[in-house]
Chains A and B, each alone.
Chain A
């Protein structure tokens, strides 16, 4: 069941809310939590009933392993517990990919059967590995199976994150305040949910129409020209951001309806002036997990080893090459490789992860070089900042091409187009205006009917660039109210005091904001319930 489905909005959510608060108000908080857990299993099983026992089994297994680890931190049990989770994920997610790769490499001609991937297995496996690691380290202890089950299954975050941490979730389930409906939290939750729904069903699904044909054509062997490739890549970058962040907003809004706060998952990542900061703003809960449970342990182990061998380690302004390679580049590449492979079983996902690993390594290296040499890039700060943001965005877009492409060759066709390897052709429409004709003639360019680029796409992208670069995100817009678990967010021009009293510039539960959000919400709901098929863009008639 998806949040943007009528089954969810019209039936599941109201029933779930009414049941939860009815039980909560009648003085049965444990029953209310049990209801929420049961409904979360229904939510999960809606997609595939057969996955429910797997999820339940995984929860029970990890809960009891965690309890034993908390009481008796056995290294063997810890490794066994983590291995069991990784094997489960590996079996469902990677058997086909590994089998096919081995078969192709050794020309074995195996027929590798397809294994249905249980929904959200990547998310709940990560969460539970974190729980085992913290139990082993003595910083997590949860004696109640019900609380633990709800921490894993709580439907707002179950299938697409945010990836929650037991420390921030489980204490909330023991908070008596959540069992009483609060009209202020309901207002906040509905607002965040409506904005997220609008981002998903109107913006992301709208711009997806321009991305899909390019990636589908590339999968069929078409080599897009420069404009077509960039059009597809930029459209996908926007689709991905509005889709994923919209879904995260919806999750956060739904959590608020139940009085439960979820962690922030996106913080205007396309405003990031470096790829390091990009990952602090994009899928933030994944970054948090990767950093805490993969990157940091690797760096710690390698640092200890190098210290024992009396080799150099990372030091601000004085890091040498071997320390940089072994303690920063290698852990970064390994972590991002795992991140890429976690996202999907395919070479294109590995390329996505490794590409980001390289970007991050270069970014760290550049910072260290600057610190070591005491350099700074010349030029006015706004210009340097804009150039940094642009470069970061281009890197992120390039990597997303691999993320979206059907396979590695298809991704390379689009990247080839982006670097001009497939030629530069202007749309025929430029010949309809005198200036366009003049430019074509002056620079000896070619104009033709482009199959995979639409002039109106430029309007879309301009609008969306305006939003992602110059507008506040939801958490910033609603900054006087904590909607998600997050540190205080940096804001830019819209944080100025002059705007504080401007209606709509900052969200307040005012009539003006209510009218706007209501309008956005109903538009999103109408689109959600709409029977209109996806518009067919790619035809000539």
Chain B
């Protein structure tokens, strides 16, 4: 086959091309370095005006904000801090579980820590539970408050929502944050987060001293926000069962509370209560033989106005919910032989 002429043509004279291109390559390098320097300057500037988003360790702002809160609060990594009750799960746990209920019921002997995040599926909750148990081996009771939405789509969720090693350095170490911002660089979500950092959280953004995030609002919200439920995912229930078995082996107790849903959501999306019944039944099945407790509010009802959407409740209701949960399941209290079983608390 006949060789063709070199297909590459340039308008730069051959003798000048080399010098021209070398200066261009040098400019490429300088331009690249400038981005890194400017990014550092931007971080410092944003920090000075209080608009610096957290490093995108999970690249979900509410999770990253929680990690930043844990880093900023020195109490959580003090050697004397030995929580005994760990709340885990998605935003339902995070925004419903009131650590004070444990303190009051145990006269301060029980030490609660709210390790809930947001938007977590059960497989991801199992991961965060393991992560916090590594750090807080003093935990005796693990509690999660589940909504049906937590038990869908685990198949497509990556269980490890963050790199434990990097989060260790960030939350529990004194890592210089700039390399973390570079390592977790996502310019699109970073810019978005600059504008969202103050209003990313509906219904307030004030952590309590246990790591919870109360929905402290008196506003009445008409929106359900959550629509029709996707099909339950067997992997979610398998993750729950796996976690329950691990905790049993470790001598810890798992309490699974199920969240009542907004009556309007039930009327619209589950009028026959099929989804809810199936949800409760599949949790029972997943926990069978693990020693874990499945708690459903008994003699305790939520009113329409207690809800701020389909699955989240305002703080006044959350406090009452937590008191009932702690009282029925004796969370944080010394074990006695008559610890309620799954059947007993139903």
Is B79 an interface position by the 8 A CB rule?
no
Cβ-neighbour of A183 out of B7, B18, B62, B227 (below 8 A): B18
Binary B-proximity of A311-332 (CB < 8 A = 1, otherwise 0):
0000000000000000000000
What 8 pairs across the A-B complex have the smallest Cβ distances? A518-B31, A514-B27, A522-B32, A509-B24, A515-B31, A518-B28, A539-B119, A171-B4
Contact yes or no, B10 A184, CB < 8 A:
yes
A-B contact count (CB 8 A): 182
CB of B22 closer than 8 Å to a CB of A: yes
Q: Which residues of B lie under 8 Å from residue A261 when comparing CB positions?
A: 7-8
Cβ of A535 under 8 Å from chain B: yes
- Judge whether B60 is part of the interface by a CB distance below 8 angstroms: yes
Answer yes or no: B3 CB below 8 A from chain A CBs.
Answer: yes
Q: Given the complex of chains A and B, what is the CA–CA distance between A512 and B27 in angstroms? A: 8
For the complex, is A390 an interface residue (Cβ under 8 Å from B)? no
The size bracket of the interface on A is 35 or more
Q: Do A540 and B30 touch across chains, with their CB atoms under 8 A apart?
A: no
Q: How many residues of B contact A (CB 8 A)?
A: 65
B11 and A513 form a contact (CB under 8 A): no
Nearest chain B residue, comparing its CB with the CB of A484 = B7
Q: Is the interface of B mostly helix, strand, loop or mixed?
A: loop
Which residues of chain B have C-beta atoms less than 8 A from A256's C-beta? 8
**Contacts from B to A (Cβ < 8 Å):** 1-12, 17-18, 20-36, 56-60, 62, 91, 118-119, 158, 161-163, 166, 182-189, 192, 200-202, 223, 225-228, 230-231, 309
**Residue from the list B21, B32, B161, B186 in contact with A535, Cβ < 8 A:** B186
Contact A541 B91 (CB under 8 A): yes
**Do A535 and B60 touch (CB < 8 A)?**
yes
Please name all residues of chain A whose beta carbon is closer than 8 Å to the beta carbon of B2 when the two chains form the complex.
Answer: 171
Q: Is A480 an interface residue (CB 8 A)?
A: yes
Within 8 A of B (CB), among A6-50: none
Given A482-B9, A521-B28, A533-B158, CB of A202 within 8 Å of CB of B21: no
- B226 in contact with A532 (CB, 8 Å): no
Which of B24, B31, B58, B182 is packed against the most chain A CB atoms within 10 Å? B24
Contact of B309 among A525, A532, A540 (CB under 8 A): A540
Q: List 7 A-B contacts (CB under 8 A).
A: A183-B17, A261-B8, A514-B28, A517-B31, A533-B158, A535-B189, A541-B200
Seen from chain A, the residues whose Cβ lies within 8 Å of a Cβ on chain B are: 141-143, 147, 168, 170-172, 174-175, 177-178, 182-188, 190-191, 202, 206, 209, 220, 222, 256, 259, 261, 428, 448-449, 451, 456, 480-482, 485, 509-519, 521-523, 525-527, 529-536, 539-541
- Given the interface pairs A482-B7, A485-B7, A534-B59, the reply to whether A513 lies near B36 with Cβ below 8 Å is no
Contact flag A449-B223 (CB < 8 Å), given A485-B7, A523-B187: yes
| Smallest beta-carbon distance A72→chain B, Å | 19
Interface centre among A428, A448, A515 (most CB of B within 10 A): A515
Inter-chain contact B184/A531, CB cutoff 8 Å: yes
Interchain CB contact (< 8 A) of A522 among B26, B31, B188:
B31
Give, as a whole number of angstroms, the nearest-CB distance from B167 to chain A: 11
Are B27 and A515 in contact, with the CB atoms below 8 A? yes
Contact yes or no, A527 B187, CB < 8 A: yes
Chain A residues closer than 8 Å to B60, beta-carbon distance? 535-536, 539
In the docked arrangement, what's the CA distance between A142 and B2, Å? 10
Known: A482-B10, A515-B34, A541-B201. A183 touches B59 (CB 8 A): no
Question: Which listed residue (B21, B27, B184) contacts A530, Cβ 8 A?
Answer: B184
